[in-house]
Chain A
Amino acid sequence: MTEDNLYLASTQCKTWSFGPSTLATIRQNTNAAGIRSIKRGWKRARIEASSANTPAVTPIPSSASTPIPGAAPTPSIDPTAIPDPESLTPAEELTLVHYYILRLIDMSDVFSFPSNVKSTACVFLSRFHLHHSVQSYHPKHLIPTILFLATKTENHYIPLSEFCKRVPKLTPEAVLKHEFTVAGGVRWDFDVRHPLRAAEGGIMELLTALAVTANGSSDTGLQALKERLAPNPTRRVQDAHGRMKGFLTKEALVSDVYYHYTPPQVFLGALWLADKDVAEAYIEWRFGENSTMGRVTKKRKRDKRGKDGLVAKDKNGEKEEDTPSEAAKGPPLAPKLLSVIQSCAGMMTDARAFEKTPVEELKRIDKKLHRCQNPQKFLGAGIAIGAGSSDGGPKKPPEDAGARKQVEEGIVVGKADERKRKVEDDLFGGSLPVKV
């Protein structure tokens, strides 16, 4: 069994890899499930509201008298006259998820967590919302829990009390409250395969090979690579390396590339974005017409570098295996690989748009979501239905409503973006200065 097969046996490949159309269908279904739960919540709230409104002499102290700022129920509301709220579209859900992935990145950077913790946290959030609508679980309540869980699954545990100290108003209870929800929501698949390991291996290989050519080499493939990256190939690779890491720890996490491509493919996609020439020269050298080195020593390299087998997935989500050994027999892998890499890179470039989502747009979506999740505010019922409350699916019992206060503002602002974020923070529950 080869390393490729090892990847094929991973949960990432078996349960978290899809073709683009499958992914869209899943999101559609999840969105529909979210809408159903909102509808149920409103239905129930209507019943509550009408029964609460009938004997409206003395409000029931426990819940009906709840003072709700800005939306205090007036006895004159007729719950049946208010239409169901407009629900979120799959695209709007995705916009929110991406926004919160960016927030998760900021939050992780506050702690200076290593990139595997950061990346795993982002993948957890994305996977969670693949199957759970933001209409049922608002991501803002989940991100502290997700980040804390990721520190544990990546073997980078820090005591929860310390973790909470760094995030204003965050309490241990608020973090733990959602831990099972999140762990179950990602199907207990804690092992996430990141492209960073393949990337470090690949760059190391390139730099080593360049050091060899510096002393003269007969490898024509290498020679070609060196010429393409002239005058200072080593420098060029090093520069690309730095930029590539940036793509791997941001664009790769915000986009859907983890669902569609294998870790080595994502690595090459990021390298291509960082420096087209470096990536293409590398691919040509390892998998091209003259890849003498790739062919002769491929066995050894595959063992050493592990996951450099390339598993391409076609549009239907079918997997097609292209191992270098096959490439050695048949036509070179490079052209096909390059097109896979380019589409992967394209997906990451597109992800940049999410960072530029206008604040107004986020505000608009959140407002819609707010209405969906808080029928009681708009109907005058005393029951929080709330998905709004963090976690809450509309089935949430009322006693949970207060507890959510603790978590709702657990959002950290990256220092650099602090000013920019401040504006946005207002729409998600107030801004939080970072304690350092």
Chain B
Amino acid sequence: MSSSASSSATRPSNAAAAAPPTRRTLPFGNGHTPVPASVVEIDDGGGGLSKDNSDDSDIDDPDDINTKTKRKYTKGTAPCYHRRFSSLIKNRKLGEGAYAVVNLGHRRATATDSAVPVAIKKIKVNTEFRDGLSMDAIREVKYLRELHHPNIIALLDVFSSKNQNLCLVLEFLDSDLEMIIKDSSLTLSMADVKSWMLMSLRGLWWCHKAFVLHRDIKPNNLLLSSTGVLKLADFGLARSFADPYRPMTSNVITRWYRPPELFYGAKFYSSAVDIFSLGLVFCELMLRTPFLPGNSDLHQFELICQALGTPTEENWPGVSSLPGYYVPHVDNAAAMVKERGKDFFMNTFIAAGESGVDLLMKMIRLDPRKRCTAREALDVPWFSQEPYPTKPANLPKKGGGKGIEKVGSDLKRKAGELFNSTDDASGRGKKVARKLDFGGGG
């Protein structure tokens, strides 16, 4: 072997042998930067960083960039926000999902900028997955780095913590749609529902335009800012669908919001899966309870068939050739449900008005090819009819903190009452064609 840089590796490796048996045995990266405790503890004030040589810090070094990024943020709330986050001062946890814990933090004040609250999403170390960065984390980072839209959560920074946990710094968002739906002290008007649908569809339209499927649309992944703006979050299951010939896993989307084609094991599906999920969120906003809360996959599918109809070649050409095609109660012709028509949905969702029901039906068609696209949904008359979508700042807030007092006949309506309303929401309002701004500059 001729001499090479590698020969120095023949040095005794006692140190390496003694390294702890965790999957990554060294501090972030290669461990050549001895990380001072004050930096590791992102809690710390950030002082006391002692380096033997100030010009050691080299922008050339990814570890240094990581250190710098990490030092921009700290856990907990900045003093100036103590009032707003009084309930969170002790326990900073904002939420926990299947693969991450989300904590409150803030970006430290600098000479020019004041402190800003942020959410720090720390990816859990999964003991099952020992192959480094998890696919969820990779997907979330990959897509959030590319997608910039007012209705998509902003990824501010990425760094790794002392334990080699990946941390995503996200813009801080006050609450999510699930909290709103469950908060029985709140009254949701159709204008509010319309506003949330509009913002969700804008976010989704942008994703789909960039050939990204979200694949986990549900109320608790639709987050709300303090100014009422809705943002799509949790891109851990997202993927690109730009290549139509690559099969995809059908094991995605939380059960209650999963479309029928995925129960049939379709490997080539489209953005219509997200539209279906969002359609069910639409129902839930009106009902204030999940529309199809199945307690098993089988049960879920039965609920879909009952509520929407039984998939057949007639209403969904080609369905019988999907790998997992089956029909519940196939022996019992009476139990077969025809795809539901407008009457059925008008009965249940009268408050949405005729044009609202039209939109809903287009979103939850059995045959994915018959569902509307996000773009088409944004163009339906419902959004430009009275009652107009509530301005984000005026939307109901978690804990009853209503933005500005609203006026209108629907103000007093209580949760659950909504879809029985006889209010004039059936689309007879003036058809004012308003130009909709979908955000994202287009």
Contacts and interface: CB of A to CB of B under 8 A. Distances in A.
B132 A148 contact: yes
A393 B58 CA distance: 10
B334 interface: no
Interface stretch (B18-26, B100-108, B114-122): B18-26
Interface string A310-342: 000000000000000000000000000000000
Contacts of B23: 172-173, 176
A429 B26 contact: no
A68 B55 contact: no
Given A33-B59, A181-B63, A391-B32, A401 B13 contact: yes
A191 B142 contact: yes
B157 to A, nearest CB: 9
Contacts of A180: 24, 28-29, 62, 66, 160, 164
Interface stretch (B2-10, B288-296, B302-310): B2-10
Given A131-B60, A370-B3, A400-B16, A9 B146 contact: yes
Interface residues of A, number: 88
A276 interface: no
B12 A1 contact: no
A173 B131 CA distance: 9
Nearest to A372: B5
B14 interface: yes
Nearest to B239: A155
B30 A373 contact: no
A394 B401 CA distance: 55
A184 B142 contact: no
A397 B35 CA distance: 11
B412 interface: no
B145 A188 contact: yes
Nearest to A32: B60
Contacts of B24: 176-177, 179-180
A349 interface: no
Nearest to B30: A391
A211 interface: no
A176 B142 contact: no
Residue among B5, B9, B25, B60 with the highest chain A CB neighbour number at 10 A: B5
B30 A197 contact: no
B8 A175 contact: no
Interface string A12-34: 00000000000000000010011
Nearest to B34: A397
B370 interface: no
Contacts of A404: 6, 9
Nearest to A404: B9
B32 A408 contact: no
Contact of A188 (B6, B158, B164, B440): B158
Interface in A360-377: 366-367, 369-370, 373-374, 376-377
Interface string B202-214: 0000000110000
A429 B10 contact: no
A421 interface: no
Given A393-B58, A402-B14, A191 B53 contact: no
A353 B353 CA distance: 69
Contacts of B139: 155
A213 interface: no
A11 interface: yes
A69 B10 contact: yes
Residue among A34, A393, A395, A408 with the highest chain B CB neighbour number at 10 A: A395
A153 B239 CA distance: 10
B16 A402 contact: yes
A190 interface: yes
Interface string B58-90: 111111011000000000000000000000000
Contact of B58 (A33, A374, A388, A392): A33
A175 B30 CA distance: 11
Given A66-B11, A400-B26, A401-B11, A426 B58 contact: no
Given A69-B7, A405-B10, A409-B6, A40 B56 contact: yes
Contact of A160 (B6, B131, B246): B131
B441 A1 contact: yes
Interface stretch (A81-89, A132-140, A243-251): A132-140
A390 B25 CA distance: 16
Taking residues whose C-beta sits less than 8 angstroms from the other chain, chain B's interface range is 35 or more
Interface in B31-52: 31-34
A325 to B, nearest CB: 15
A389 B9 CA distance: 7
Contacts of A189: 145
A183 to B, nearest CB: 7
Contacts of B53: 40
Interface string B228-251: 000000000001101100100000
A374 B7 CA distance: 10
A153 B238 CA distance: 12
A160 B130 CA distance: 8
Nearest to A133: B60
A113 interface: no
Nearest to A138: B5
Given A400-B16, A405-B13, A373 B63 contact: no
Contacts of A191: 142-143, 145-146
A197 B4 contact: no
Given A190-B141, A402-B13, A403-B19, A184 B63 contact: yes
A40 B33 CA distance: 14
Given A36-B58, A402-B16, A183 B7 contact: no
Contact of B2 (A9, A369, A399, A427): A427
B29 A197 contact: no
Nearest to A395: B32
Contacts of A390: 30
A67 B10 contact: yes
A78 to B, nearest CB: 21
A363 B54 CA distance: 34
A37 B56 CA distance: 8
24 contacts: A1-B441, A10-B146, A34-B60, A68-B10, A148-B132, A160-B131, A172-B131, A184-B62, A184-B160, A306-B242, A366-B4, A366-B5, A392-B30, A393-B33, A393-B58, A393-B60, A397-B31, A400-B15, A401-B16, A402-B12, A403-B26, A405-B10, A427-B4, A429-B4
Query: Which 4 residue pairs spanning A and B have beta carbons closest together?
Result: A402-B13, A1-B442, A399-B15, A391-B30
Given A184-B63, A397-B32, A402-B9, 10 more contacts: A5-B442, A6-B209, A37-B58, A68-B7, A177-B30, A393-B32, A399-B16, A401-B15, A402-B12, A405-B10
Interface of B: 1-17, 19, 23-26, 28-34, 53, 55-56, 58-63, 65-66, 130-133, 135, 138-139, 141-143, 145-146, 148, 158, 160, 164, 209-210, 239-240, 242-243, 246, 440-442
Interface of A: 1-2, 5-6, 9-11, 30, 33-34, 36-37, 40, 62-63, 66-71, 131-133, 136, 138, 148-149, 152-153, 155, 157, 159-160, 172-173, 175-185, 188-191, 197, 306, 366-367, 369-370, 373-374, 376-377, 384, 386, 388-405, 408-409, 426-430
